[in-house]
């Protein structure tokens, strides 16, 4: 009976003022519900993922605390097809960095080929922005503008025994397999007097959409011959979401 009396009183106040105040007798004019406290907080319903998915026709914007993931989630979908988004702080400029682990692939091919530069993960600031498909492909999960920096250390292998075997490498960024940036070119790699090392440097900024796959391709820019990564973890690629 007391609960019913309180409920009727609350409804009466709401109808009278079109506002409800908890912890205050003067709710803010622009609020429907004004909760005020200097010692306590609001405790939302805590549901597991299974319990959340069992909610019947959840309204759009329905907010819960998911005790399975330990994150706040809200429905961005419809009552018939809910889609639970996570409330989480987004890093302003999340980045990811990889180093090569492959030192056997020939980078000096007649046809441009993807190279395994996404080998060792140094860091990934946000796994909801970047996901590695394999050593040759990285997928972005959020649309935006990305800055791509790739530094490739090269070493020629004297496969023919010629001291004049001059090789050179060209490289570029691809998005979904299509060239999306300018060519970068190495200097000549030759074996006379030990000139068998060089490098490539790519610096690109691209507009990407969610689901785009980033790769780096290299191709022959001079004579045939074998050119590989110069050492393990000596080549790097850093991708940063800047907008």
Per-residue pLDDT of 149-184, as tens digits, reads: 999 999 998 777 776 678 999 999 999 999 998 999
* In the predicted structure, residue 12 carries a pLDDT above the cut 80: no
What pLDDT does residue 5 have?
A: 58
CATH class of residue range 95-241: mainly beta
Where is average pLDDT lowest: 16-20, 147-151, 152-156, 203-207? Answer: 16-20
Q: Can you tell me which residue has the tokens 């590695």? A: 132
Judged against a pLDDT cut of 80, whether residue 71 lies above it is answered with yes
Average pLDDT, the chain: 89
Cα–Cα dist 232/207, whole Å: 31
Strand spans (E) along 90-222: 95-99, 113-114, 120-124, 130-134, 137-140, 144-157, 169-175, 178-179, 184-185, 197-208, 213-220
pLDDT at site 9: 57
> In this predicted model, what pLDDT tens digit does every residue of 83-108 receive, in sequence order?
998 887 666 799 999 999 999 999 99
- What does the pLDDT look like over 25-55, one tens digit per residue? 888 888 888 889 999 998 999 999 999 999 9
Over residues 18-23, mean pLDDT: 78
d(CA 214, CA 199): 20
**Phi–psi pair at 213, nearest 5 degrees:** -115, 125
pTM confidence score: 0.65
For the cut 60, the answer to whether the pLDDT of residue 15 exceeds it is: no
pLDDT for residue 122 is more than 60: yes
Per-residue confidence (pLDDT) for residue 85, from 0 to 100: 87
Report, as an integer, the average pLDDT of 217-224. 93
**pLDDT mean over 212-230:** 94
Do residues 29 and 15 lie in contact, with contact meaning Cβ atoms separated by under 8 Å?
no
């Amino acid at each position: 009976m007391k609960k019913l009396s309180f409920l009727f009183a609350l409804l009466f106040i709401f109808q009278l003022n079109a506002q409800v105040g908890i912890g205050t007798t003067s709710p803010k004019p622009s609020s429907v519900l004004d909760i005020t406290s200097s010692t306590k907080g609001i405790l939302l319903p805590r549901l597991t993922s299974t319990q959340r998915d069992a909610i019947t026709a959840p309204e759009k914007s329905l907010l819960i605390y998911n005790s399975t993931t330990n994150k706040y989630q809200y429905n961005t979908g419809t009552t018939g097809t809910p889609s639970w988004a996570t409330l989480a702080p987004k890093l302003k400029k999340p980045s990811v960095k990889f180093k090569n682990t492959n030192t056997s692939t020939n980078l000096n091919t007649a046809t441009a080929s993807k190279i395994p530069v996404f080998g060792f993960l140094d860091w990934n600031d946000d796994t909801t922005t970047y996901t590695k498909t394999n050593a040759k492909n990285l997928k972005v999960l959020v649309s935006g503008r990305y800055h791509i920096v790739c530094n490739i250390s090269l070493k020629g292998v004297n496969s023919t025994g010629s001291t004049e075997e001059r090789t050179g490498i060209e490289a570029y960024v691809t998005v979904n397999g299509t060239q999306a940036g300018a060519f970068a070119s190495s200097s000549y790699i030759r074996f006379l007097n030990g000139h068998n090392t060089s490098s490539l440097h790519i610096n690109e900024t691209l507009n990407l959409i969610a689901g785009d796959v980033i790769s780096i391709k290299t191709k022959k820019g001079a004579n045939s011959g074998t050119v590989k990564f110069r050492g393990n973890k000596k080549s790097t690629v850093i991708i940063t979401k800047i907008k």
